[in-house]
Chains A and B, each alone.
Chain A
Amino acid sequence: MNPIERKKYDWLAIGLYLGIVIFGWLNIYSACYDPEHAAIFDLTLQHGRQLLWIAMALVLAIVILNVEPRFFADTSYIIYLVVIALLVLTLFIGNETNGGKSWIKIGSFKLQSSEFAKFATALAIAKYISAIDIDIAKFRTKATAIAIAAIPAGLILLQHDTGSALVFASFILPMFREGTSGMVLIVGLVAVVLFVLALLINKYVLIGIVAACCLFYLFVWLNKRTRRNYTNILAVFVVAVAFIFSVDMVFNHVLESHQRERIEVLLGKREDLLGAGYNVHQSKIAIGSGGFVGKGFLRGTVTKANFVPEQDTDFIFCTVGEEWGFLGSGLLIAAYVVLLVHLVSMAERQRSTFARFYGYSVASILFFHLMVNVGMVLGLLPVIGIPLPFFSYGGSSLLAFTFLLFIFIRQDADKNQLL
């Protein structure tokens, strides 16, 4: 039986990928546009190099689509170990950029190892979870899965690349799908809300609110009040109070000063438009000035005049907002959401746990990037420097995201084959 005949590629996912990559390149071209150096293919300029990366990514995609799907399942641990080794290596021979050691320089080529750690970890956890004798309900299973994600995350944290390390929290979603309790999501959400409120309002007022919520839950919401209910609510309350009091400590001693500043700017506790708040302020100006249809391709004034730092990488969305307006940026968000939702649907139609878990991981990692990056640019989240998938300038991230997505598309193409 010739497997090639049975391949059925998901052209919607491939089409969205291509669309986003091309639109991304147009915006990088615009962000770096200089009327006197309008050449499209010029390796001294970002958009010229990005064109090279895109070509490499397409070759890579075609290669992946023609590899045996089993290959990735079989070699996932090896890939994982190779990437871990790379991460360790980076700590020793890495190049410093923006205060972090996250690049390995090979000739003129700079490799950001943390980008490749994402799909490698996704493969490794998928492989682990899909083993025959694994029971997700067991604590041991969960602990091991967390460890597989925590090792690269920890190494990346040592590179001072907090943003990339946080990406590994994405695996909460595939784990949730596989059967871990949804409480993790709720507790996480509550913790974020409490953290923000603790910074914004008086702690005793906040404790009062928490107490009121607990009492409301206990006496109005619940029909039956058992002794167990009382003790549980009391425990929740005590933990919440302890959390609230620890917020200051965490904020002032665990976070680094630039992280503190960024959070303060976001919460409006600090007006520092030329310092910590500069990027986001400028990015809001760029986007806000775009209006409904935008200023037109190559015609942005804020981004064109270099007011927005990192406008070809982490702040690339500004260019979209300024030049393509609400229409363009809204459609881009919509395209991402369609891709994400479609990926979840694709994952659900997989017959193997490995492919499903991997598919969920792909969607979650992309989602996390989208949420943090766009949230930052729109001034909804603190500044955390991670790229917009398939869109931001950067060879490592484009190649790594292409790996991530196309390994899944390859799995999906053979979904009817039993692994």
Chain B
Amino acid sequence: MSNKYADRNRVVKTIFIVTGALFIVRLAMLQLFDPKYRELAEQQSLRPVTQYPARGFIYDRHGELLVHNEAIYDLMVIPRMVKGLDTNYFCDAVGITRDDFDARMKKARTYSPYSPSIFMKQISKEEYARWQNKAFRFKGFYISQRTLRIYDRPIAAQVLGYVGEVDQADLDRDPYYRMGDYIGKSGLEKSYEEVLRGVKGKKIMHVDALNREIGPYQNGALDTLPIEGCNLYTTLDADLQQYAEELMANKRGCVVAIEPSSGEVLAMVSAPCYDPNLLVGRIRGDNYRALNANIAKPMQNRALMEQYPPGSIFKVAQAVVALDLGVIQPNTGFVCDKSLVGCHNHPSAQTVPDAIKMSCNPYFYQVYRRVIQQNHDKSANRDSQYGLTVWHDYMLRFGFGKQLDIDLPKGGMASGNIPDTSFYNRWYGRRRWNFRTIYSNSIGQGEVAVVPLQMANLAATVANRGYYITPHMVRFYGPDSVRDERYTTRNETGIGRQHFEVAIRGMYGAVHEPGGTGHRADVPGLDVCGKTGTAENKGNDHSVFIAFAPRENPQIALAVYVENAAGGGGSWAAPIAGLLIERYINGEVKRKDVERQYREAAPCQKLPLPPHKAKKSKKKRQ
């Protein structure tokens, strides 16, 4: 019966042969006609290994090295690859005991037998050199080199910023970065990231599927060397910065000092400060959490990120605006009428410099009324709308009400607030406001808010008699000394020079004449010009002072802000400003007792502050 179907063997053979033929056709497709797989094979078994360039150094304005790198060596182990180890010899070579060795190996093995883990952290250069002679005997161990940022002086942490591993947002934003790369996270490290980082090099290595390097491809013929990052030459004066940080110890607040003629920031302090070395290497994680949890916000650069009511320092700007508008004259006098707005006891100001010197609140109430109410329209509201628009325009030209274009990260930077008509239309409702509702602005309270950098910039603008150069942190960078064009042009306020001279007479008087509010900023032999401010807020008033010196050809303009320090601008901010000016211009401080007094003082009210103290009346403001 079976032979009836004997022919079916051909069907079966055909199936076999056709299948075989199909496979051979497929093989031909893969191996002979499609170059894709050959390329893919090369791509994945030849893996480019990144060579990291050294990150650029950061210098201060006198060429002192502030930030540099140090190579550190970690002894790594892949437990599974450790074979035939002479343990005693090894322990001698690296200088550890047998028990220590066992403990470290156990830890590494627990982490992973297959992956590298750190056997010994940060071994010294001598140990590294010794190691290299013997390395061939220790299979499974190798040295991994990393570089860390090193700060020789523990200063300017918030300005310099710190570097950390890239996060997902960085990876999505810029294809340059790979997982595990380092990137500037804040401060100059962030804003000059692309300058500092350099260009990564590429080494082509033959690797296996576990990403283990087998050897260089074509003996490195296709490799590229990394290009080192550019050095930053900052505007900071390291000595002044350190001195300012010392004076701000035990306090909260900030200092910004600017060279008026160039807009270069000489010092920028945000207190409390921290040692930038805390955010380097393996200790970063814990320290970062601790700093971040601190309610005094040490990581926050207050000079840029906080905005405060400016207080009386704002009067200087009001005076020059009113003079420029012609609504007052230098010798215009107003009675100190405390029924308009509260004031401290002083004789009525007969002139503009007198008013600035004594910081008379009713005087500037009147000044601001003349600015806002120019009798342009019969309706009080429409009249005030006109005046406010004019005033708002002036204020913006001082750099208020907007972010100053400083070369630090814009994220988190405050812009301050200069209210305009639409602001009050939202705030009070259309036509429901006029001068009577907004007069607090005249003395730097109410709805105005400024950033400390803007205050220092006001001092610089006054020092320059009418213009400022956008404050910046970096003079030039790289081997070609690249300078940023943004920081070479003048920003004019459009206010006449002579009006500033009037205000400066008042600021000089505030420091040097009887009845002046800022006499504690006086430095013997220097004609410091300054203006105090006391900014109301929840908790004790903030103590504010802006100043510049010398009066002619000013070299330094600064703003000092001490948070919640009872006693007004004259008591805390002014003497600190005086010490800083003395230090910068004279190179040393002779008044050691004053220095000690303010360095040790801790005037700031403790955090957390009591809830908002509703002070309705504006009184006793200097």
Contact = CB atoms under 8 A, between A and B. Distances in A.
Interface of A: 136, 173, 176-179, 182, 284-292, 301-302, 304-307, 321, 325-326, 329-330, 333-334, 336-337, 340-341, 344-345, 347-348, 353, 356, 360, 363-364, 367, 370-371, 374-375, 378, 380
Interface string B168-211: 00000000000000000000000000000000000000111110
A415 to B, nearest CB: 14
A371 B210 CA distance: 31
A334 B12 contact: no
Contacts of A178: 2, 5
Contacts of B38: 288-289, 291
B206 A177 contact: no
A215 B37 CA distance: 44
Given A287-B31, A288-B41, A329-B31, 5 more contacts: A286-B41, A288-B34, A305-B214, A341-B17, A367-B19
Contact of B27 (A173, A326, A337): A326
Interface string B27-46: 11011101011101110110
Contacts of B36: 288
A383 to B, nearest CB: 16
A182 B31 contact: no
Nearest to B44: A307
Contacts of A321: 27, 30-31
Contacts of B4: 179
Contacts, number: 126
Contact of B12 (A173, A301, A336, A337): A173
Interface of B: 1-2, 4-6, 8-9, 11-13, 15-17, 19-20, 22-24, 26-28, 30-32, 34, 36-38, 40-42, 44-45, 206-210, 214
B462 to A, nearest CB: 63
A287 B30 contact: yes
A326 B32 contact: yes
B31 to A, nearest CB: 4
Contacts of B12: 173, 176-177, 344, 360, 363-364
A292 B8 CA distance: 36
B391 to A, nearest CB: 63
Contacts of B22: 380
Given A176-B8, A177-B9, A378-B26, A325 B20 contact: no
Contacts of A337: 16-17, 19-20
B30 A301 contact: no
A340 B23 contact: no
A306 B44 CA distance: 11
Contacts of B2: 178-179, 353, 356
B355 to A, nearest CB: 74
Contact of A285 (B9, B11, B41): B41
A204 B478 CA distance: 68
Contacts of B11: 176, 182
B27 A285 contact: no
A325 B38 CA distance: 12
Contact of B31 (A290, A305, A353): A290
Given A289-B40, A304-B208, A378 B17 contact: no
A333 B32 contact: no
A360 B11 CA distance: 12
A143 to B, nearest CB: 19
Contacts of B26: 378, 380
Closest 4 CB pairs of A and B: A288-B37, A289-B41, A305-B208, A337-B20
Given A337-B16, A374-B23, A345 B30 contact: no
B17 A306 contact: no
